[in-house]
Every structure is written in structure tokens, then in C-alpha cells.
Amino acid sequence: MKRNHPLDISGSANYDILIIGGGATGLGIAVDAASRGLKTVLIEQSDFAKGTSSRSTKLVHGGVRYLAQGDIKLVYSALHERGMLQQNAPHLVKKEAFIIPCYSWFAIAKYLVGLKFYDLLAGRFSFGKSEFLSKGEVSKLLPGIKTKGLKGGIRYFDGKFDDARLALNLAQTAAEEGATLATYMKVTGLLRDTSGKVAGAEVSDLITGETHTIRAKSVINATGVFVNDILNMNTPNAPKLVRPSQGVHVVLDKAFLDTEVALMIPETSDGRVLFAVPWHEHLLVGTTDTPLDESDLEPRALDQEVSFILNTAAGYFNIKPKESDILSVFSGLRPLAAPSDKDGTSTKEISRDHKLIVSGSGLITITGGKWTTYRKMAEETVDLAVKNHQLSAKPCITKTLPIHGASAGLGSDNLSVYGSDRGHIENMMNVSPELRKRIHPAYPYTVAEVEWICKNERVEMVEDVLSRRLRVLFFDAAAAIEMAAPVASIMARVFNRDEAWQKNQTETFSKLAEGYLYKNSGRQQEKNLHNQAKY
């Protein structure tokens, strides 16, 4: 099979830095390295942000619960990174009001004091002042909240974003700075120089079946929960560094809270916090923390995780959500420190602040951290690569480097996430009005939008479009299945593909998307009147 977007990887090129992993961390490193003038290449085994980086709770935040744990340094750093990210990507990072409903006066005092300190740590990057709200104010702002026993609440401000769109924009920024990026390329082995140091990688093209040799002075393992795989290539039978922990989110109709502010539940039975966040005109609720034994690109929610989320939300919602109300359910994996105790039950997080490791072979591994601090993680990683491999690099400029699409004040409709690119899509529709046709009657996405994505956003599969560009799979899996055929048709026209390719892509995506339908709940149980059998 051929690629929609041919690769420009040169086997004869000697790159300064080879990054393995195209999630938040790897893409941040690519932007940092390329903008310093380093010859940079990034390899990703699937699409950008296919794994953990597209499956977050959509928050750009300092971490209120880390403040409660006393990790002031981490919170301070994250709050400042939050501010810089909002300045550099204003089309994607938005201020969001969060409300903590309180059912005791002690809770009101405790959370107000803590969040006032949170505001103080943010300094000039503050998103707004925390304040007490009366019972009436809380019920007005959260019309679906349970009011029995409610004393009032605390409103504070943090950030909300679209994680997969930011990942794509980072990839575009890295490319504009001179980096080479390749998706659907899997590392199969590491190269060594005459002294035994890691000097590149052997990679396999998962689309064409071709193999490539990529040589680089520094190799960085930024593969998240898959870091053990690369470490094992470096040192066979190496002890596992991380163990995955699963975080699950369910998506409901927005009517359950019918609000533009987010709900924060500060204390749950598993010791985490739970959020209910308005996102793409739906309500995203999560998350969980379940240690697993193996990592997977498509982890599946466990029944007990979904029940935990629904039961916890039911304690705060007037209308209790049921399994049949779930429009989509998705899971992401975060790295835990691999257990070293005999019973293997350790669940300590490897680090929300991140961890950098240099192997004796010179391989650099970065793990831990979170989306909000990706830029700082990248800066520190490139600093280490420059130092360890004597690379000639300019100073870091990412604190003030605009991310592709950066533009403020472009509205809040479906085209706003494109930032400065939205004008190109609007122009396409003005020139060719037929491109205004929607690809699904329930959603605003048009043929023009999908064409733009195909031509400018490095997609190879229908999944790339519906999962991580338009995000429909993540908030309405049944609708995403209905959109697969029309999206495949548009892609086939743009990339000159035949009917067999369209059929294969539609069937492959539909099978994948069924895993996001919790027990075939919600709209999929109905015989959908909008099913577009023919495009």
C-alpha cells in the first residue's frame, strides 16, 4: 500500500536528534530541538497522539490535588507553564471556570483557603481569582447539580484544551522549524557505533512494509507507557521502568449539567478527583486510576471503572446517568513506577514532574510528567542531549514561540480550533459552495473541513480524521461510525484511492469504534435514522 503523504526520511542523513514517540513529550522535544537549529527527526508507530496524549481530561492545569499533597514546586511550575501555553496557543487553550460544590461549611473553608494559595502561586499567569459562591449561585451555574444539603461552592479558574489538536499543531510547528516527522513508523531495533553507543534506529514502515535506517547522534526514548520496549532493545531483559495505570472517561449528553462551567469533585472513593467538563458540546466525565500489567494502543474500560464514574457522578447530578446514556467511553494509560516489592502491588506514579534517564549506551529516556508541563520537559531533555552528545545548539526559545495556528478571538465554533488556518477552510467553502455540505446531520463538520485535514494535517487513515482531528469518536462513537463512509469517500477522492480502499477503511474504523460504545449503549441501541448508507 502507498502512503497518502510520502516520507522525506533520508537514510544517508546524519541527524542530530532522533525522537521515538509522537505524543506530547516527543512532539515538544521536536519543536524545541528543531527551533534550536538541530537536525531533528521524529518517529511515531501510529498517528500523532494516538495513545495517552489524546486521552486526557482536557485540562491545562497546575494540579489542585498535587497542591493538597504538598508538591508546591510542581504546582508552581505547572501554573507558569499553563500561562505560557495559553499565550502561545490561544486558539486551543481557554480559561475555564471550575466549581467545587460543598455540602459542609468546613469543606468551603478548606477549599477556599487552598485555592487562594493556588491563585497566589500562579502570579502574573493567573486565570482568575477563586471565590465563594452561595447555594443559589452554584445551582444557577450548575443547573443539574444536586442541591439537597448544598451549602455553597468555590469557583476557581484553570485551563481547558483539545489535546490531540495541540499535538497536531506541535507537529506542524516542528515541521515549520525544519524537523522531519513520520507517522506509522515502528522502531524495530537500535543502531550502535563502533564504541557500542546508540547511534540511530532501524524502523519499519507499517503502511508500505519498507524498512529504513536512521542515524543520529542522540536518540531519545519518549514513548510514554511503551518506554520499556525501547529500553529492552537497548539492554535485553532490562528491568521494567514503568507499569501502566488506566484512566477512563465517559462522555454524556451536555444536558446532565447544561452549563459552560466545569464541575470538580475533590474527593472520591479511590482518592482521586473527578471532573465533569463541557467539551465539544458534550460532557466529559473522569477519570479513574487502575494499575494494569500490559500497555496497549487501544486500552478498554473495565466495567468497574465505568460504574465508579457513573456512581460518583450520580452523587452530584440531579439526573443519575445510566450505562445507556454513555455516548462514548475511552481509556488512556499513564506510567506508574514498576513494582519492585514482592507482591507487585506498588501503584506509585513514576512522577508527575517527569524523570530523565541516560543509559550507559547514551540512550536518553524521558517519562512521567503531564500535558501542561510538556514544554519544560522538552527543554530539559534537549539540554541533556546537547550536553551529553556535544551538539551545537542555539538557546531554547519555546517560552515565547507561537504554536502553529496561534490566533486569538476567532470564535467558539467548530472551526475555532484551527486558529489562523480557519480562514483557508472558509475560503474553500466560499469558492466552492458544495463543500459546505455536512458529513453528518447532527454535527457541523463539512466536506471542506475534511478536505483541508486531508491536504494539510498528515492523515493516513479514516481513524486519524474521526479520532484525533474532528474528535467525533471520543464524544459520539455511534455518529463516528456513521461518518466513516463519507470520510473515506472524501479521502479516496483527495488521495486517488479505489473503492476497495474505502471499504477497508470504513470497516476497519467501524470495528475500532465499536470498542468506544459501552455495551452498545446510547444512540447505537436505536435504529439510527441518520445512518448514511450512501454518500
Residues 6+ apart with CB under 8 A from 427: none
Question: What is the pLDDT at residue 412?
Answer: 79
Question: What is the pLDDT at residue 1?
Answer: 81
Answer left, alpha or beta for residue 512, where phi above 0 means left and psi between -120 and 50 means alpha: alpha
Question: What is the pLDDT at residue 368?
Answer: 86
**Helical ranges in 36-94 per DSSP H:** 64-68, 72-88
pLDDT band at 44 (very low <50, low <70, confident <90, very high): very high
CA distance 13 to 200: 11
Distance of CA 519 to the CA centre of its chain: 25
Element at 140 (helix H, strand E): helix 135-141
- What is the pLDDT of the chain when averaged over all its residues? 91
Dmax (CA) for the chain in angstroms is: 72
Which has more confidence, 372 or 64? Answer: 372
Question: What is the pLDDT at residue 352?
Answer: 58
CA distance 73 to 139: 35
Answer left, alpha or beta for residue 186, where phi above 0 means left and psi between -120 and 50 means alpha: beta
Using an 8 Å Cβ cutoff, are 509 and 461 in contact? yes
CATH number for 416-525: choose from 2.70.98, 2.40.50, 1.10.8, 1.10.1060: 1.10.8
Element at 263 (helix H, strand E): strand 262-265
Give the fold, CATH level 3, of 14-52+165-240+350-388.
Answer: FAD/NAD(P)-binding domain (3.50.50)
Question: What is the pLDDT at residue 73?
Answer: 87
**Mean pLDDT (whole number) for 180-203:** 96
Answer left, alpha or beta for residue 371, where phi above 0 means left and psi between -120 and 50 means alpha: alpha
Residues 6+ apart with CB under 8 A from 224: 21, 23, 25, 51, 52, 53, 333, 335, 367
Q: How many CB atoms lie within 10 A of CB 66?
A: 18
CA distance 44 to 19: 9
Residue with cell 517519562: 367
CA distance 477 to 481: 6
Q: Tell me the pLDDT tens digit for each residue of 431-489.
A: 999 999 999 999 999 999 999 999 999 999 999 999 999 999 999 999 999 999 999 99
CA distance 93 to 96: 9
Q: Tell me the pLDDT tens digit for each residue of 375-397.
A: 999 999 999 999 999 999 999 99
- Domain ranges across the chain: 14-52+165-240+350-388, 91-160+243-332, 416-525
- What pTM, to 2 d.p., does this model score? 0.94
Question: What is the pLDDT at residue 521?
Answer: 54
Question: What is the pLDDT at residue 58?
Answer: 97
Q: φ and ψ at 507, to 5 degrees?
A: -70, -40
Using an 8 Å Cβ cutoff, are 414 and 444 in contact? yes
**Mean pLDDT (whole number) for 303-331:** 95
Question: What is the pLDDT at residue 353?
Answer: 66
93 has which bridge partners? none
Question: What is the pLDDT at residue 530?
Answer: 40
CA distance 167 to 282: 21
For the structural domain made of 91-160+243-332, what CATH number should be given? 3.30.9.10
